[in-house]
Amino acid sequence: MNNSPTVLEIDLSSIEHNLNFFRSELNPETKILAVVKASGYGSDAVLMAKALEKLKVDYFAVAYTDEGIALRNSGISTPILVLHPQLQNLETICRYNLEPNLYSRRMLEGFLKIAHDKGLDNYPVHLKFNTGLNRLGFDASDIDFVCKNLMEQSVVHVKSIFSHLVASEDEEEKEFSLAQIEKFKSICSSFTSRLGYRPIRHMSNTSGILNYPETHFDMVRLGLGLYGFTNLIEKNANLKNVLTLKTVISQIHQLKKGESVGYNRGFHAKRNIKTATLPLGHADGFFRSLGNGKTYVSIHGHKSPVIGNVCMDMIMIDVTDIPCKEGDEVIIFNSREDILQMADHADSISYEILTAWGNRVKRVLK
Residues involved in catalysis: 37, 263
Among 148, 146, 144, CA closest to 105: 146
CA angle 149, 154, 158 (to 5 degrees): 65
CA distances from 158 to 89, 123, 164, 252 (A): 19, 8, 18, 60
Cβ-count burial of 175 within 10 angstroms (0-12 exposed, 13-18 middle, 19+ buried)? exposed
Answer for the pair 314, 278: CB distance below 8 angstroms, yes or no: yes
Give the whole-angstrom CA distance, residue 347 versus residue 339.
12
Residue 293 identity = G
State whether residue 26 is helix, strand or coil: coil
Spatial contact of 243 and 227, defined as CB atoms under 8 Å apart: yes
> What are the angstrom distances between the C-alpha of 339 and each of 80, 87, 95, 348, 356?
29, 37, 39, 11, 12
Q: Is 101 exposed, middle or buried (0-12, 13-18, 19+ CB in 10 A)?
A: buried
Are the beta carbons of 276 and 251 closer than 8 angstroms? yes
> Strand order in 362-365's β-sheet?
251-255, 273-278, 315-318, 302-307, 296-299, 329-333, 243-248, 7-10, 362-365
Burial state string for 125-155 with b = 16 or more CB within 10 A and e = fewer than 16: bbbbbbbbeeeebbeeebbeebbeebeeeeb
Q: What end-to-end distance do the CA atoms of the chain give, in Å?
A: 19
Residue whose C-alpha is closest to residue 165's, from 219, 129, 127, 125: 129
DSSP string, 112-125: HHHHHHHT--SEEE
